[in-house]
Amino acid sequence: MDKQRQIPGQVTVTVVIPFFNAGRFIAETIESVLAQTYTDWELLLVDDGSSDNSTAIAKKYAQAQPQKVFFIEHAGHANRGVCVTRNLGTHHARGRYVAFLDADDVWYPHKLSDQVKIMEQNPQAGMVCGAYLNWRNWDVNNQNQDKDEIRPTGAPQNSITMPPKLSEYLYPLGEGMSPNPSDLLIKKEVLKKTGGFEEDFTQEYQLFEDQGFLTKIYLSTPVYVSDKTWTKYRRHADQCMTVSRKAGNFDRIRKFYFNWLKKYLIQQGYRGTVIWALAQKELFPYEHPVLYKWQQKAEKTIKNIKLQLK
């Protein structure tokens, strides 16, 4: 039942949690929203056709706080993918700002308070993001005992970057770390302007769905990058990146993204720009594999000759 449409009025922030079979983590994720020091929010729990207990968990939270928490799903309880599911949440959002939170991640209590303050102080910004905690030690059975680490967004800190410079700074065209989707706060009007998430990024191609979305943001609106850490990004074996690398699909998925990017840059009039050149460089190994191998071999030979001459 779509209770969201029955509630009149506006809120400042709409939090969208898309989920699919997230029963292992979703309660902790929801609790991190309920624990926010900033309270002018609504929470949309958007079910992508789950078959585990996460549907029941989400409905329980919606029933407990019917004025704040809402359960939404696709027609027929269908599984449509995370991009379509996030867009469904955006469609129902009443907030001036929208924050996305993956169903296995967690926010620090001051996340919304800090980010709303930044957006209000910097009205020209269409999005704010910060650092995130690469969270491994949530699992007490982590045999590798890998340490948690802070991952800052790889762009000028505590300032606004104008479009399209973030595309040059950040992965996958630049060397800097890109922001985490669970850490973003975005103006709803920007989401409408850019068309939200790219719904062609389905199944295994969801690995790059965040990069497709972020590319559109980088090219269209100023972004405030903070050095603060607001989000815990939970690392586990079922994540898309881990599964794709184990299956040997990463290069094919990456090629899919860059083919999409080339078409998008043409559509947006970016031929002949720095970003266009960076994208062409990344596409070169896929479009000219034989020539690329010869190029790599020649570079290796030249490097060895230089070492021998030293």
Q: Is residue 296 part of a domain?
A: no
Domain assignment of residue 68, yes or no = yes
CA distance between the termini of the chain: 73
Cis (ω within 30 of 0) for the bond into 123? no
User: Cβ atoms within 10 A of the Cβ of 273, count?
Assistant: 15
- Output DSSP code: residue 73: E
Is 224 part of a structural domain of the chain?
A: yes
Residue 229 or residue 242, greater confidence: 229
The pTM assigned to this predicted structure is 0.89
In a domain, 179, yes or no: yes
The string of pLDDT tens digits covering residues 99-141 is 999 999 999 999 999 999 999 999 999 999 999 999 988 876 6
Specify the range with the lowest mean pLDDT, choosing from 2-6, 37-41, 52-56, 124-128. Answer: 2-6
Q: Has residue 300 been placed in a domain?
A: no
| Segments forming the whole domain that contains residue 180 | 3-268
Domain-located, residue 273: no
Helix (H, G, I), strand (E, B) or coil at 302: helix
The CATH number linked to 233 is 3.90.550.10
Closest CA to 255 of 191, 307, 204, 194: 204
pLDDT above 70 covers what percent of the chain?
A: 91
Answer whether residue 10 is part of any domain. yes
What total of structural domains would you count in the chain?
1
